[in-house]
Amino acid sequence: MFEEELEKASALYGLPLDRGQIEKFAIYCRLLIEWNEKMNLTAITEPKEIAVKHMVDSLTALRGIEDGESLRLIDVGTGAGFPGIPLKIVRPDMDLLLLDSLKKRVRFLETVVETLGFKGAACLHGRAEEAAREKGLRERFDVAVSRAVARLPVLAEYLLPFVRVGGRAIALKGLHSEEEAKEARRAAEILGGALIETIPVSLPGLSDRRAVLVMKKERATPKIYPRKAGTPAREPLL
């Protein structure tokens, strides 16, 4: 059921998956449902909805990534692994770091990474505001991506400190994407980035508006950012 729905939805979206990829997505879906019975990973549990609203939706991030681009990517506030794990399935060449602040979710992510046999993938327990100050993580990624974590002015402070100059921060957004893009202009400027593109996307069978928002990193992020844990959410750079 899930495999059929995913194969159909990905083809309708314009990104057909091969049999090996679909099998990996199916294993991921099975683990998601199993673990969701003992911890809160997702409110979406129907196979068709998982295929479209989680898996294919995650793949829309590819709209902000150039084909064939050598890639070191961090998924900030990844939760149950979206969009990072779907991206790794279709781009196995990427180096992936999954960052989440909840230890039990990280244990789930570690199980998925091990079960799928990923090479070049790691999981890290921590908050974005603290991890981005670590020397080995700050401005070391080609792409930082996030989905459904915070409004863009807040998200910019979580993402841009991880991104190298010349790299990109990608946010998957819904209904209020245009409004958020306008709100985030000052934050992006302060943090060394610029909002360069809003890419509308639509998912098979869904009428709601979605977009991929891309910020290019133009200058190094000032050392005072990100601010201490909790401050970006309480006092966004508006």
One digit per residue, the tens of pLDDT, for the chain of length 238 reads 899 999 999 999 999 999 999 999 999 999 999 999 999 999 999 999 999 999 999 999 999 998 776 799 999 999 999 999 999 999 999 999 999 999 999 999 999 999 999 999 999 999 999 999 999 999 999 999 999 789 999 999 999 999 999 999 999 998 778 888 899 999 999 999 997 789 999 999 888 889 999 999 999 999 999 999 999 999 999 8
- The label of the residue with tokens 């990427």 reads 94
- Whether residue 77 contacts residue 145, with contact meaning beta carbons closer than 8 Å, is answered with no
Domain spans of the chain, in order of start: 2-232
pTM of the model: 0.96
- Whether residue 25 contacts residue 17, with contact meaning beta carbons closer than 8 Å, is answered with yes
Quickly list DSSP for 156-191: HHHHGGGEEEEEEEEEEE-TTHHHHHHHTHHHHHHT
- The encoded tokens of residue 149 equal 């974590």
Query: What CATH number matches the domain at 2-232, 2.40.37.20, 3.90.226.10, 3.40.50.150, 3.40.50.11710?
Result: 3.40.50.150
The answer to whether the Cα torsion of 11, 175, 82, 90 is positive or negative is: positive
Nearest to 142 by CA among 198, 75, 200: 75
The answer to whether the Cα torsion of 214, 212, 6, 75 is positive or negative is: positive
Distances in Å between the alpha carbon of 90 and those of 15, 67, 87, 98, 207? 10, 12, 5, 16, 25
Nearest to 148 by CA among 71, 210, 194, 56: 210
